[in-house]
Amino acid sequence: MLLTIDVGNSRIKAAVFEEDTLVELFIMGENDAVLIFSEIFIKYPKIKSAIFSSVGKLDAEVLDTLQKHVELQIINHTIKLPFTNNYTTPKTLGIDRMVLAAGATLKYPKKNRLVIDVGTCVTYDFIDQENNYLGGAISPGIALRYKSLNDYTQNLPLLELNSTETFIGNSTENSIHSGVINGLTYEIEGFISQYFHKYQDLTVILTGGDAEFLAKRLKSTIFANSNFLLESLRLLSTYINQND
């Protein structure tokens, strides 16, 4: 069994895999990570190895707990990847974006792939059918958009994600919801349209914490998988082991 771990900006996600099947998903904060990981190893004693990527900071005690129980593989910029990284500043490419690009390359071979990760930030990553990573874009995620409206204005309230279908906001709150949700939806549709215009054979993967919410609002044909980063870690682990 394999444990995959994604340390994000605001939370830690982990998944237990039995070969290519996701057995159980865990979401935790840093404060309860040691306890939850200890419980995972008790519940799944067959876990022999783990792989993790991090864009946030992982507490030393958490790392120590992992290394005591399993052989731990930490993703960094020195690992062998299944694509050619053509980013002009390859060492600044986020580890999460790197893992998602690897997962898309391995899961959808010989395709043009666009991975859209909707989390704290929205990232767009494109890998062509020759397995060249060309780059993408970064923009604020839903929570950041709500927060910025409150932080940089005098009178706009801080709101949380709302499933409103409002297009024309009939109040300040509804106007904010419409601007944030519809604005991001149109942004994503616009990016997809641009890529489709240039690359006809395009596979689009939507992932991240807000993937399921946004997938219902997108007209484009996409593969929505909120756990694609965890699955990408599994695919990358197999690839690394086979090419060691």
Residues labelled catalytic:
96
| Cβ contact 100:71 at 8 Å | no
CA nearest 226: which of 25, 50, 49, 76? 25
Find the radius of gyration of the CA atoms of the chain. 19
| Cβ contact 57:86 at 8 Å | no
| Cβ contact 239:106 at 8 Å | yes
Calculate ∠ Cα 210-215-217, nearest 5°: 110
* H helix intervals, the chain: 33-43, 60-69, 95-107, 142-151, 172-177, 183-198, 211-215, 228-242
